[in-house]
Amino acid sequence: MADWLIRQFGGDAASPWAWVVYAGVALFQAVVILAVVMTIVAFATWVERKVAGRIQDRLGPTRVGGRFGWLQPLADGLKLLCKEDLIPRDADGFLFRLAPYAAFAPAFAVFLALPFADGWVAQHLNIAVFFILAVAGLEVFGIILGGYASGSKWSLLGAMREGAQVVSYEVPLTFSAVIPVLIAGTMDLTAIGNMQRGWFWNWFLFHDPFTFAAFWIYMTCATAGTNRAPFDLAEAESELVAGFHTEYSGFRWSAFYMGEYASMTAFSGLAAILFLGGWNGPIPVLSAVGLTAASGPLAGFLGNLLGSVNFLAKCLAGVVFMMWLRWTLPRLRIDQVIAMCWKYCFPLVCAAFVGAVLWTYFFPGGLIFGRPLGTVPEVASPSAPRVAAAGAANRAGNGGGRTIASAPQAAGEGRGSYRAGSAALGAEGSRPKSVPEGRSGG
């Protein structure tokens, strides 16, 4: 998206004002991301109230803004803005003021590298997975800072717990995120998403039993990493009043709150791309009706739009899953939380890692339905010229119609520097690379 914008506004590096264009585009993207994230966060708070209500056999918000309480987040926001802004006398004022932003900014910065659809990303990074995990891990510093600066023992205890918990859970979280990276052979999220194109058994979730296990470990660790119940020891109300944000009120408190929801969304989004096929639906409808970039810019745009809706739906499913956990399970004790990480999650994810490596080596085709790895399944519509050459052989076999062909040539010219990179590594030596498989679909 950035490239397109820059080209539109003549971001010619030779012109002396090129940097103004770049800065303007960057600012525009920041505003867009902020708007999207804030909308998601507001929606998620409403969903949380509704889900909690339904699980507890209540109705949840019903009054504000019609029958379903749609405008409840707005009312909440207004209420929070109008609240008195307190700073305790014994607090360290400077750090106390800064901490909420230090907690919120990383959760927001994660979306910089998170693609919403093929190519719809603010900054395309070839290490996007790593970048997201690294930046998401910074949120804990804001929380530690806030807890310490409050000058209250509840806050300090909550902050220490949060620090211990997040630093511990980062290890299995990163390990389980490495497994799909290992299968894909790239850390580029756009490429990983595009590799899972086609039917839902192409998703890495169904690649082999170990990725399936890794997904659940990932979701557990993401719940713990975002400090949600049943792992919300940092704000355990029954013991610590409100944990690290005991002394916070009004807007500063809501910054922590928004940070929590934004990072929940970010972790769910990462899970959606790594395991759940990203912007590719379970059934390749979009390609079947020709809404791909290959059939023209407008079709590509529409396809991306629907793809991003798909992605957001998966994101939201992950968020609702976390909420479901929160309102179903009782809170653990702090020693149980740490034991859960090091005694269960970590060995399990190590086993899954080794298992996924072995599976990829012995069964490079994935589970039963799998395509040969290293090829991107391409649904060839009759008007797609770029797969015509590859699809010709297949079409001869199954008599025309719509053909799902995994076309090595198409894979080679698709976006993704990963292809050149992994070809250069010779990493694909053991994979059957040039087996065009034809399946009739439709």
Partner 1 sequence: MDWNWVFFIILAAITVTSAVAAVITSHIVRMAFYLVVCLGGVAGLFFLAGAYFLGAVQLMVYVGGTVVLIAFGVMLTARTPFVRMQTTPDQWLLGLATAATLSAVLVQANLRFPRPADPPPAVTEPAVSPGGLGTALLGLRIDAASPAEEGTDGAASLGLAYLLPFELVSVHLLTVLIGAAYLARPRRPTGTESEGRREAAWGQSGGPDAALAALAAAQDGGS
Partner 2 sequence: MIDPPLTQIPLAAYLLVGVVLFVTGITCMIAKRNLIGILIGIELVLNAGTINLAAMSSPFVAGSSLPPLDGQIFALFVILLAAAEAAAALAIALTFYGGYATIDVDHGDRLKG
Point out which residues bind partner 1 (CB under 8 A): 13, 16, 18-19, 22-23, 90, 92, 94-95, 98, 102, 125-127, 130-131, 133-135, 137-138, 140-141, 144-145, 148-149, 151-153, 156-157, 159-161, 163-164, 167, 170, 186-187, 334-335, 417-418, 421-422, 424-425
Measured from the CB atom, is 135 or 349 closer to partner 1?
A: 135
The stretch near partner 2 (CB under 8 A) out of 118-126, 229-237, 272-280, 305-313 is 118-126
Task: Return the one option of partner 2, partner 1, none that residue 124 interacts with (CB less than 5 to 8 A, by type).
Answer: partner 2
At 52, the amino acid letter reads: A
Buried b or exposed e, range 286-303, using 16+ CB within 10 angstroms: bbeebbbbbbeeebbebb
**Three-state secondary structure along 159-216?**
HHHHHHHHHHHHHHHHHHHHHHHHHHCCCCHHHHHHHCCCCHHHCHHHCCHHHHHHHH
124 binds partner 2 (CB under 8 A): yes
Return d(Cα 20, Cα 141) in angstroms, integer.
33
Contact 276, 270 (CB under 8 A): no
6 binds partner 2 (CB under 8 A): yes
10 binds partner 2 (CB under 8 A): no
Q: Which of residues 16-35 bind partner 2 (CB under 8 A)?
A: 18
Task: Return the one option of partner 1, partner 2, none that residue 163 interacts with (CB less than 5 to 8 A, by type).
Answer: partner 1
Contact 274, 186 (CB under 8 A): no
Strand, coil or helix: 383: coil
Q: Which of 123, 249, 336, 409 binds partner 2 (CB under 8 A)?
A: 123
* Nearest distance, CB of residue 306 and partner 1, angstroms: 31
Measured from the CB atom, is 134 or 293 closer to partner 1?
A: 134
192 binds partner 2 (CB under 8 A): no
Contact 251, 99 (CB under 8 A): no
* Nearest distance, CB of residue 93 and partner 1, angstroms: 11
Buried b or exposed e, range 393-422, using 16+ CB within 10 angstroms: ebbeeeeeebbbbbbbbbbeebebebbeeb
Task: Return the one option of partner 2, partner 1, none that residue 207 interacts with (CB less than 5 to 8 A, by type).
Answer: none
Return d(Cα 337, Cα 345) in angstroms, integer.
11
Which residues bind to partner 2, rule: CB under 8 A? Answer: 2-3, 6-7, 11, 13-14, 18, 123-125
